[in-house]
């Protein structure tokens, strides 16, 4: 490679761009193929069950479904390169517009859920590791086990029954009380940010109160995973010699645990948290259904079941971008947290 003497940062950037582009192309190709092999006729979603044959045929041709597969794929990629993700059949809107509407809803929910999962899950994991085998460890293990094993659908409904219907602590399903619906023009699409920017604090608090329950439930799953991983990372650290050394030198126990040991756990933990966050960003279909939360997961599923392929491909690209973005971000965080990686 001596013939190509690009400066290192440029080479790195080029590397990333090529990798990302190839990843996207591969992702699109696989999704495209899946869309063509599912036993669902995409024309049905448009014309419905009653349309006469000539209408069905016309729409099939309009969609380009009569062309060979490679041609259909080439046309799609060409449109995407020009920034046109096509129109969704189900919503009659451009896919890009739909995604701008549904993704922020998911982003809001996933971010709050991840915060809850991390702020509670990490200390719980640390406590469990420190009190290994004793009652705090057992309690945290059981809490985590529930988080892993209870179906989110059931938990969501029970949450609504208890905190909404019985105790009246939180509002019902939806992102806002309907009286506030449509009062805020979406800027970012994230209700908390938009209402705060508009200075509409009443709406802000309403949006926040609607978030509490679904975010807690999603956060619970994140917590179960994060606390479990924190525990095992911590156990590994606590058995290291530098910990023994610190204790021998008379460093206070809380400092040994929360500064020395936890400081080293953050590095692998970042990957765990990033992955769990990325998973939540794909959208949690069941949570979205129970809480009438118009997010990406529901959009993607609904589109797939109707073979609305423009929407499916568009949403898949967003998910792909999220994964790539979060991976890059965790790489950066790695370098910040771990001096050896710089």
Binding site residues, another protein, CB under 8 A = 38-41, 44-55, 58, 89-93, 98, 101-102, 115, 119, 157, 160-161, 164-165, 168-174, 177-179, 181-182, 205-206, 208-209, 212, 289-292, 294, 298-299, 302, 305-307
Cβ–Cβ < 8 Å for 223, 197 = no
Q: Which is nearer to another protein, 27 or 223 (CB)?
A: 223
> Quick one: 133 or 182, whose CB is closer to another protein?
182
Q: How far is the CB of 192 from another protein (least distance, A)?
A: 11
φ and ψ of 94, to 5 deg: -60, 140
Q: Provide, rounded to whole angstroms, the least separation between the CB of residue 258 and another protein.
A: 9
Residue with tokens 């969501």: 156
Helix (H/G/I), strand (E/B), else coil: 87:
strand
**Are the CB atoms for 329 and 315 separated by under 8 Å?**
no
Other beta carbons within 10 angstroms of residue 328's beta carbon come to: 13
27 or 110: CB nearest another protein: 110
* Distance (Å) of CA 90 to CA 44, 48, 225, 278, 302: 11, 11, 35, 26, 9
Least separation in angstroms between residue 121's CB and another protein is 13
For another protein, give the closer residue by CB, 185 or 241: 185
CA 115/CA 216 separation, integer angstroms: 10
Tokens of 99: 């995604």
Smallest separation (angstroms) from another protein to the CB of 160: 6
Of 215, 228, 333, which Cα lies nearest the Cα of 271? Answer: 333
**Burial classification of residue 98, based on how many CB atoms lie within 10 Å of its CB (0-12 exposed, 13-18 middle, 19 or more buried):** buried
To the nearest whole angstrom, how small is the minimum distance from the Cβ of residue 9 to another protein? 35
Return the number of the residue (38 or 321) whose C-beta is nearest another protein: 38
Question: Residue 176: left if φ>0, alpha if ψ -120 to 50, beta else—which one?
Answer: beta
Q: How far is the CB of 57 from another protein (least distance, A)?
A: 10
In the complex, least distance from residue 39 CB atom to another protein, rounded to whole angstroms: 6
Closest distance of CB 122 from another protein, Å: 10
Return the number of the residue (27 or 45) whose C-beta is nearest another protein: 45
Instruction: State the Cα–Cα distance between residues 268 and 272, nearest whole angstrom.
Output: 7
Beta-carbon count within 10 A of 246 CB? 19
Q: Which is nearer to another protein, 70 or 178 (CB)?
A: 178
C-beta of 32 vs 291, nearer to another protein: 291
Is 21 exposed, middle or buried, given 0-12, 13-18 or 19+ CB atoms closer than 10 A?
exposed
């Amino acid at each position: 490679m001596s013939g190509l003497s690009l400066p290192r940062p440029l080479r790195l950037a080029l590397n990333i761009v090529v990798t990302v582009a190839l990843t996207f192309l591969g992702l699109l190709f696989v999704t495209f193929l899946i869309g063509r092999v599912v036993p669902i006729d995409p024309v049905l979603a448009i014309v419905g069950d009653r349309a006469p044959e000539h209408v069905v045929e016309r729409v099939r041709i309009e969609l380009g479904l009569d062309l060979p597969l490679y041609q259909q794929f080439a046309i799609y990629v060409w449109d995407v390169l020009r920034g046109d993700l096509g129109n969704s059949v189900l919503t009659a809107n451009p896919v890009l517009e739909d995604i701008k509407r549904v993704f922020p809803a998911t982003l809001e929910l996933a971010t709050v859920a991840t915060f809850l999962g991390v702020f509670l899950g990490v200390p719980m994991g640390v406590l469990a590791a420190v009190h290994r085998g004793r009652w705090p460890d057992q309690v945290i293990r059981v809490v985590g086990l529930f988080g892993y094993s209870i179906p989110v659908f059931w938990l969501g409904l029970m949450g609504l029954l208890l905190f909404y219907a019985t105790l009246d602590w939180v509002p019902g399903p939806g992102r806002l009380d309907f009286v506030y619906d449509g009062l805020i023009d979406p800027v970012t699409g994230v209700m908390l940010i938009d209402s705060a920017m508009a200075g509409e604090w009443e709406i802000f608090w309403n949006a926040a109160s609607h978030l509490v329950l679904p975010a807690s439930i999603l956060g619970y799953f994140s917590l179960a995973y994060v606390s479990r991983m924190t525990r095992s990372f911590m156990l590994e650290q606590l058995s290291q010699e530098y910990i023994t050394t610190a204790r021998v030198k008379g460093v206070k126990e809380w400092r040994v645990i929360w500064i020395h040991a936890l400081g080293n756990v953050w590095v692998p933990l970042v990957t765990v948290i990033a992955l769990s966050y990325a998973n939540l960003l794909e959208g949690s279909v069941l949570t979205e259904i129970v809480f009438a939360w118009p997010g990406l997961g529901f959009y993607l599923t609904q589109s797939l079941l109707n073979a609305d392929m423009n929407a499916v491909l568009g949403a898949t690209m967003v998910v792909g971008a999220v994964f790539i973005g979060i991976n890059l971000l965790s790489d950066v965080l790695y370098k910040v947290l771990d001096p050896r990686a710089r």
